[in-house]
Amino acid sequence: MPKLKREEGEERATDFVESLDRGLRLLQAFGNLSGPMTLSDVARAAELPRATARRILFTLERGGFVASDGKLFKLTPHVLTLAGAYLRSNQVVAVLQPVLDRISSAAQEISSLALLDGDEVVFIARGSPARVFSTGLDIGYRLPAFCTSVGRAMLGRFEDHELARRLRAMRREALTPHTVTDPKALLKTIVADRSKGYSLVDREAEPHFRSISVPVRRYDGTIVAAINMGAHVDRVPLRELTDRFLPLLREGAEDVKDKLL
């Protein structure tokens, strides 16, 4: 008898591996607290029974992802192989990294590449000028999408009705006195940014920082990422973002359009 084929989107209970889900949640729990954690700390942070957390920690320790002195547990650098595998296999990073390096060198400012992950943006690559002391958003850093220039550039990929729904549903807490949180005002801004082809945010995500971003499109015009440049408000005036940074960002995004699948 031939096997029945599942319809697309249909999920069976047997397709879900609960132990793997718990293990991943436990790994993420280490980011909730700084420094080594006790078994009780880990179980509480991961919302798991103590006995379950103990078994998972033992398994992760055997795999080299966790180290313990018998009382305290901490992640090992081996965990970075998971992030490294993602970065090495991601076409967007491979294609955009030379662009980030080029525009950073030209502007003598840090440039970053971000992806949209739910209601947040995550920074996955950066280019930095040849200066010993440079600061910027680290790879893996996350911020709310609604109040960042990269987030607004990528949110512009949604149709107006879907964008309005997402803005109403997402958590919108003010990060600075300048943060816009009203969903109608945000919708108007993002629609206008989509028309302009760039997004500029002034002190909404961080109190002394402004940034400008452009969407990165693949061959068919779909927005898949965003690249940005920014600086401290006391060092770079607002007009410089559009006069000097924006042309570099636009050129870089246009150069990769036909290379992204």
Spatial separation of the C-alpha atoms in residues 115 and 92, rounded to whole Å: 9
Q: Look up tokens 């990269």; give the residue.
A: 150
Q: What is the pLDDT of residue 87?
A: 77
pLDDT at 2 > cutoff 70: no
CA–CA gap between residue 228 and residue 242 (Å, rounded): 12
What pLDDT was estimated at residue 86? 81
pLDDT at residue 89, as a whole number: 82
Question: Residue range 66-79: average pLDDT?
Answer: 92
Note the pLDDT of residue 11. Answer: 54
What integer is the mean pLDDT of 184-194? 98
What are 204-254's pLDDT values in tens digits? 999 999 999 999 999 999 999 999 999 999 999 999 999 999 999 999 999
User: What are the pLDDT digits (tens) for 162-185?
Assistant: 999 999 999 999 999 999 999 999
Whether the Cβ atoms of residue 119 and residue 144 lie closer than 8 Å to each other = yes
**How do residues 10-51 score in pLDDT, each as one tens digit?**
556 667 888 899 999 999 899 877 789 999 999 999 999 999
pLDDT at 136: 54
Q: Which of 81, 7, 73 is nearest to 45 (CA)?
A: 73
pLDDT at 6 over 90: no
What's residue 216's pLDDT?
Answer: 97
Q: State yes or no: pLDDT of 3 exceeds 50.
A: no
Average pLDDT of every residue of the chain:
90
Q: CA 63 to CA 81: how far, in whole Å?
A: 12
Model pLDDT for residues 110-143, shown as the tens digit of each residue: 999 999 999 999 999 999 886 534 455 678 889 9
What pTM was estimated for this model as a whole? 0.80
Q: What is the pLDDT of residues 88-118, one digit of tens each?
A: 788 899 999 999 999 999 999 999 999 999 9
**Predicted pLDDT at 214:** 98
Supply the pLDDT for residue 4. 43
Tokens of 132: 């010993």
Q: Which residues fall within 8 angstroms of residue 20, CB to CB, at 6 or more apart?
A: none
Write the DSSP string, 2-52: PPPPPPTT---GGG--HHHHHHHHHHHHGGGSSS-EEHHHHHHHHT--HHH
Task: Reduce the secondary structure of 129-149 to three states and give it as a string.
Answer: CCCCCCCCCCCCCEEECCCCH
Flag whether pLDDT at 1 surpasses 50: no
Q: Is the dihedral of CA 44, 47, 50, 55 positive or negative?
A: negative
Domains and CATH numbers, the chain: 13-79 (1.10.10.10), 90-259 (3.30.450.40)
